[in-house]
Amino acid sequence: MANLGIDVLFKGTNFLRLLQGLWVSVEISLVSVAISIILGLLVGVLMTLNKLWLKAILKIYLEIVRIMPQMVLLFIVYFGTTRVFGWDITAEAAAIFVFSFWGVAEMGDLVRGSIKSIPKIQFESAYALGMDKKQTYFYIILPQTIRRLIPLSINLITRMIKTTSLVMMIGIVEVLKVAQQIIEANRKASPNAAFGVFAVVFLLYFIVCWPISRLAVYLEKRWA
């Protein structure tokens, strides 16, 4: 087992491609998280309103996201929209849609939790100062909510990056797919390439996710 196949990575543009694949994962995650935060704020606020039908709809939405495997969602969005509506959306768009669909629900729930955890007295003292509902949410409640949320949403980024390997199902070539391509293209020359390449992939994931989750811990402590 002397040759673990790391050398394979230095053939041609292999390593560069691996990094490009990683960037695809990170990019999809970042865009999705950005969308998730913005829409999640809105959904979260909606979740706290006392409208029964709205609550029911959002609850169902949340349950769907929790229970449906992301791969099924990817299939449905990427192929289903074409079948049913005849839309031909790109795989990247489908992936971002599905990840955002997931993220918005999760963020929404986090936002709801954070808003609920803000003492009622914060609303009331804003009202007592003559602010209306909109001003109260905008200047008082949301800024506090966001601070609690940022560490949590950072964790969502790492979870998304780790889940992006599913997008290969709709033809997107991300880091794990590139890894498989490299392993297969070099199977003859270095049969053990799987180990080296996967070790590097393991490391790459760690290098990307670890600082992000440390940042979350740091912010959580700072804003606690």
Partner 1 sequence: MDIDILKSYIPLYKDALFLTMKIGWQGILLSLILGLVGAAVLHFKVPVLKVITGIYIEIFRNTPLLVQLFFIYFALPKVGVKITAETCGVLGLGMLGGAYMIETIRSGLESIPVIQTESALSLGMTKEQTFIHVILPQAISMSVPGLLANVIFLLKETSVFSTISLMDLMFTAKDLIGMYAKTIECLFLLVLFYLIMLLPVSILGAFVERRMRYGQFGD
Partner 2 sequence: MSELLKVTHLQKKFGDNVVLKDINLSVKKGEVVVIIGPSGCGKSTFLRCLNGLEEIQDGVIVVDGLPVEAGKREITKLRQKIGMVFQSYELFPHKTVLENIILAPMKVQKRSKDEATKEALELLDKVGLVDKKDYYPRQLSGGQKQRVAIVRALLMHPEILLFDEVTAALDPEMVHEVLETMLALAKSGSTMLIVTHEMSFARAIADRILFLDKGEIVEESNDAKSFFIQPTTERARKFLKTFAYE
Partner 3 sequence: GSSDNSAATLDAGTTDSSKETGSAAGFRTLDEIKESGTINIGVFSDKSPFGYVDENGEYAGYDVYFAERIGKDLGVEINYVSTEAANRIEYLQTGKVDIILANFTVTEERAQEVDFALPYMNVALGVVSPSDAVVESLDDIGADDQVIVISGTTAETYLTKNYPDIKLQKYDAYAEAKTAFENGNGVAWANDNTEVIAFSIENEGYTVGIPSLGDNDTIAPAVTKGNETLLTWLNDEITSLGDEQFFHADYEATLLDTYGADYEDTLVVEGGKVQ
- Answer for the pair 157, 25: CB distance below 8 angstroms, yes or no: no
Judged by CB under 8 A, the chain residues 48 through 67 that form the site for partner 1 are: 63, 66-67
The site partner of 191 among partner 2, partner 3, partner 1, none (C-beta below 5 to 8 Å per kind) is: partner 3
The site partner of 86 among partner 3, partner 1, partner 2, none (C-beta below 5 to 8 Å per kind) is: partner 3
Should residue 71 be labelled a site residue for partner 1 when binding is judged by CB under 8 A? yes
Among 83, 120, 134, 221, binds partner 3 (CB under 8 A): 83
Q: Considering the complex, state which of residue 8 and residue 142 has its C-beta at the smaller distance from partner 3.
A: 8
Of 106, 212, 87, the residue nearest 157 (C-alpha) = 212
Should residue 188 be labelled a site residue for partner 3 when binding is judged by CB under 8 A? yes
Residue 106 beta carbon to partner 1: minimum distance, rounded to whole angstroms:
10
Phi, psi (rounded to 5 degrees) for 134: -60, -50
Q: How far apart are CA 91 and CA 150, in angstroms?
A: 28
Among 69, 86, 119, 130, binds partner 3 (CB under 8 A): 86
Largest distance between two CA atoms of the chain = 75
- Answer for the pair 100, 65: CB distance below 8 angstroms, yes or no: no
Among 49, 171, 218, 223, binds partner 3 (CB under 8 A): 171
Measure Cα distances from 201 to 6, 9, 180, 194, 217 in Å.
11, 11, 11, 10, 24
- Answer for the pair 56, 124: CB distance below 8 angstroms, yes or no: no
Q: How far apart are CA 138 and CA 136, in angstroms?
A: 6
Which positions touch partner 1 (CB under 8 A)?
A: 1, 63, 66-69, 71-72, 75-76, 79, 158, 162-163, 165, 176, 194-195, 198, 201-202, 205-206, 209-210, 213
Residues that bind partner 3 (CB under 8 A): 11-14, 17, 75, 78-79, 82-83, 86, 88, 168-171, 173, 177-178, 180-188, 191, 194
